[in-house]
Chains A and B, each alone.
Chain A
Amino acid sequence: MTTQAIRAEQPLLSVQDLKIRIQMDNGEMRAVDGVDFEIKKGKTLGLVGESGCGKSLTSRAIISINPKECETSGTIIYRSEEEQTREELNLLSLDPNSKKIRSIRGRKIAMIFQEPMTAFSPMYTIGNQIMEAILIHRTKNKKEAKKIALEMLGKVGISDQEKRFDQYPHEFSGGMRQRAMISMALSCNPELLIADEPTTALDVTIQAQVLELMRSLQAEFGMAILLVTHDLGIIAQMCDEVAVMYLGKIVEQAPVKELFYNPKHPYTKGLLKSMPRLGGDKSKRLDSIEGSVPMPINMPPMCGFYERCSDRIEGVCNARSVPKTHISDDHMVRCFLYSDSREGDSI
């Protein structure tokens, strides 16, 4: 194998043993508890889970923009291929206010957010806010920056850019704002785009348009996407690989088809069952997962899904933390049902 080939196989981003802890009045909350995943160049990884499972914190930890209260540990290796130099950087080792991490934010790793109304400041024009990132990372020339910004607005399907450029966020519709947000994120041609619930606040029709737009831009720019969502439908449509998160841990990870056709973890199965299906029996109630998510504060070592699981093994699942089991090369599940050993994880 040539070095070129090795490099091609190395993932753009590797997250290893990411832990985020938050000190609360009643103890330490393990919001993210030992997460590992990789994002390959030009591919899309979906991070799916319900509210509060730590998926947003995980995605924001990559560029260190979580609030100060979050104690983050682990390694996040980012391999940039820019300018022939192969740079390998542990993003977590950088000071969150350092120049180095700021030169990566917005330039190499860009982010789009759930609520495009509040993610833009109402005080400045859309043009001003898009140009800002370009002026930091690409050019100091305002005219040139404006040209790039206008071009980007055109790319995301906003017509009449000259006029739109000088408008304020409240003069845009929800879908338009999210398009503008995408154009802002892509204005510096990033290698990785983190999309944190990019379509949650949008109408279903607009949702489809925005997803389609993201896909076509991915094809054009070749960036990788980390798509954070709670919507399995979007995952099926967009992703190459999926990681299912529950209570701060990734409980199952597999290529998208494998996960949908051959789910292993009881939680994944439950999620898939609770999705409405076309042509399904309308007289039947939609399945839902019993119980609710516990708070990850002062939890003993056990499976976080234990209380809600129909296949739980007493004395095993609630007695130790669950190790990873690799069902195949690319299918991982964290469940004792598939584990040969009944011994706990070393943590």
Chain B
Amino acid sequence: MLQYSIKRILMAIPVVIFISFIVFYIIQLPPGDYVSSYSAQMTATGEVMTQADMDQMRANLGLDRPVYEQYAMWAKKIVLHGDFGFSFNYNKPVLDVVKQYMGLTLVVSLVTMVFQYAVAIPIGIYTAVKQYSAGDYIFSGISFLGMATPNFLLAIILMFLSYTWFGDPLLGLFSNEFVNASWSIDKMIDLAKHMVIPVIVIGLASTADLIRVMRGQMLDELNKPNVVTARAKGLSEIRILFKYPTRAALNPIVSTFGWSLSSIFTGATITAIVLNLPIQGPVMYNALLGQDMFLAGSWLLFMALLTVLGTLISDILLAWLDPKIRTEFRGN
């Protein structure tokens, strides 16, 4: 198993290098660069940048060199100094920008994930065991609705409801008085209150999806002969349910856990913009708009890395869960 994991990690290295180059190249592709968008901004505010000024700025930022050279410099700094470059928009190192938003992004994403699994798995089991019952139809209806509703629309509806019922649309993650306050019990409670809408909005679609997957898996497993065998042994229904079908149905669900890794760190973009959440999604969006190339590039690279890592985690999880795959590893 360890050998397999090491092999997989080594195989991931060329993939990541290749992705990083593609990422960098793509960011270069659109016409113009940070300097031209900066000068456009300056023009809008009434100042004029001369061609000489722009060339000077390009030379300072290293933007006048060929793509591969810029890439080499960027990659060298990352590998040697852990320096991901400089964010022009924020006027700070990229790493600092990422760090600033990481804490809250993780909180929102992890709470959303816990919410998804905690809601979806029991409902999935229930709807499968009570297939075609009233409860099954109600939950299935809700989950189809949840999959089909665009989440920004839901965000607006919930904001509206929250405003009409509680007099506060609960925008952002903190009330005004807490934004810059230091951490306290009150601030935590305020955060928890503000998390309700984002968690529901971000989590609903995947929750609905997970319910469908769990229900389908359970229905498959409930009709397997090993359930009949367990019954013939004299086990009680409830023990059979948890020991056999549920355990087997969880495999595909848990093994896809790794794939959501990148979304945990990046957060939901559109919902975050609508709800004005201080998380990574909108930062990334603005970086792409403003041609803030090092920030955007680092971001895309980061996401790619997380996807590769997530797939690796999924595979290892699956091996850990499924005895059959585990044996194949041992044979490796």
Taking CB atoms, residues of chain A closer than 8 Å to B226 are 118-121
Does B161 make an interface contact (CB < 8 A)?
no
From known contacts A121-B248, A168-B323, A170-B327, infer whether A136 and B225 are also in contact, taking CB-CB under 8 Å: no
Is A113 a contact partner of B323 (Cβ separation < 8 A)?
no
Does B247 make an interface contact (CB < 8 A)?
yes
Taking CB atoms, residues of chain A closer than 8 Å to B323 are 122-125, 168, 170
Is A118 a contact partner of B225 (Cβ separation < 8 A)?
yes
The one of B229, B231, B236, B322 in contact with A120, judged by C-beta atoms closer than 8 angstroms, is B229
Does A28 make an interface contact (CB < 8 A)?
no
How many contacts between A and B, using CB within 8 angstroms?
74
CA A168 to CA B225, docked complex, whole Å: 16
Does B78 make an interface contact (CB < 8 A)?
no
Does B232 make an interface contact (CB < 8 A)?
yes
Given A65-B232, A111-B229, A120-B226, 11 new contacts (CB under 8 A): A60-B228, A65-B228, A102-B236, A104-B234, A110-B232, A119-B228, A121-B224, A121-B229, A122-B324, A136-B234, A137-B234
9 A–B contacts, CB within 8 A, in A order: A65-B231, A65-B232, A103-B234, A105-B234, A106-B234, A115-B225, A121-B244, A121-B247, A136-B233
Using a CB–CB distance below 8 Å, which chain B residues touch chain A?
224-226, 228-237, 243-244, 247-248, 322-324, 327
CA A106 to CA B231, docked complex, whole Å: 9
The one of A63, A120, A125, A168 in contact with B232, judged by C-beta atoms closer than 8 angstroms, is A63
CA A115 to CA B244, docked complex, whole Å: 17
Is B327 a contact partner of A171 (Cβ separation < 8 A)?
yes
Taking CB atoms, residues of chain A closer than 8 Å to B236 are 97, 102
Please give the number of chain A residues whose Cβ is less than 8 angstroms from any Cβ of chain B in the complex.
30
CA A121 to CA B228, docked complex, whole Å: 11
Taking CB atoms, residues of chain B closer than 8 Å to A125 are 323
Taking CB atoms, residues of chain B closer than 8 Å to A122 are 248, 322-324
Q: How far is the CB of A5 from chain B (nearest CB, A)?
A: 33
Q: How far is the CB of A125 from chain B (nearest CB, A)?
A: 8
Is B229 a contact partner of A119 (Cβ separation < 8 A)?
yes
Is B248 a contact partner of A106 (Cβ separation < 8 A)?
no
Give 1 or 0 for each of A76-117: 1 = CB within 8 Å of chain B CB.
000000000000000000000100001111110011010100
From known contacts A97-B237, A118-B226, A121-B226, infer whether A111 and B244 are also in contact, taking CB-CB under 8 Å: no
Q: How far is the CB of B199 from chain A (nearest CB, A)?
A: 32
Taking CB atoms, residues of chain B closer than 8 Å to A171 are 327
Is A136 a contact partner of B235 (Cβ separation < 8 A)?
yes
Taking CB atoms, residues of chain A closer than 8 Å to B243 are 124
B interface: dominant SS? helix
Of chain A, the residue at the smallest CB distance from B224 is A118
Is B225 a contact partner of A105 (Cβ separation < 8 A)?
no
The one of A115, A118, A133 in contact with B233, judged by C-beta atoms closer than 8 angstroms, is A133
Taking CB atoms, residues of chain A closer than 8 Å to B229 are 111, 113, 119-121
The one of A106, A119, A123, A184 in contact with B225, judged by C-beta atoms closer than 8 angstroms, is A119
Taking CB atoms, residues of chain A closer than 8 Å to B233 are 105-106, 110, 132-133, 136, 184
Question: Which positions 128-179 of chain A face chain B at CB distance < 8 Å?
Answer: 132-133, 136-137, 168, 170-171
Is B234 a contact partner of A123 (Cβ separation < 8 A)?
no
CA A171 to CA B225, docked complex, whole Å: 19
Is A132 a contact partner of B235 (Cβ separation < 8 A)?
yes
Taking CB atoms, residues of chain A closer than 8 Å to B225 are 113, 115, 118-119
Taking CB atoms, residues of chain A closer than 8 Å to B228 are 60, 65, 113, 119
Taking CB atoms, residues of chain A closer than 8 Å to B237 are 97
Q: How far is the CB of A82 from chain B (nearest CB, A)?
A: 15
CA A307 to CA B82, docked complex, whole Å: 84
CA A63 to CA B229, docked complex, whole Å: 12
Top-10 shortest CB links A-B: A106-B234, A106-B233, A105-B234, A121-B226, A111-B232, A168-B323, A133-B233, A118-B225, A102-B234, A119-B229
CA A133 to CA B324, docked complex, whole Å: 24
Q: How far is the CB of A280 from chain B (nearest CB, A)?
A: 36
The one of A107, A123, A136 in contact with B247, judged by C-beta atoms closer than 8 angstroms, is A123
CA A110 to CA B230, docked complex, whole Å: 11
Of chain B, the residue at the smallest CB distance from A120 is B226
Of chain B, the residue at the smallest CB distance from A136 is B234
Taking CB atoms, residues of chain B closer than 8 Å to A102 are 234-236
CA A65 to CA B236, docked complex, whole Å: 12
Is B235 a contact partner of A168 (Cβ separation < 8 A)?
no
Taking CB atoms, residues of chain A closer than 8 Å to B244 are 121, 123
The one of B231, B247, B248, B327 in contact with A168, judged by C-beta atoms closer than 8 angstroms, is B327
CA A60 to CA B228, docked complex, whole Å: 10
Of chain A, the residue at the smallest CB distance from B228 is A65
Is B232 a contact partner of A106 (Cβ separation < 8 A)?
yes
Q: Which of A107, A119, A121, A125 gathers most chain B CB within 10 Å?
A: A121
Q: How far is the CB of A63 from chain B (nearest CB, A)?
A: 6
CA A97 to CA B231, docked complex, whole Å: 10
Q: How far is the CB of B20 from chain A (nearest CB, A)?
A: 40
CA A124 to CA B324, docked complex, whole Å: 10
Taking CB atoms, residues of chain B closer than 8 Å to A132 are 230, 233, 235
The one of B234, B324, B327 in contact with A107, judged by C-beta atoms closer than 8 angstroms, is B234
Of chain B, the residue at the smallest CB distance from A117 is B225
CA A118 to CA B224, docked complex, whole Å: 7
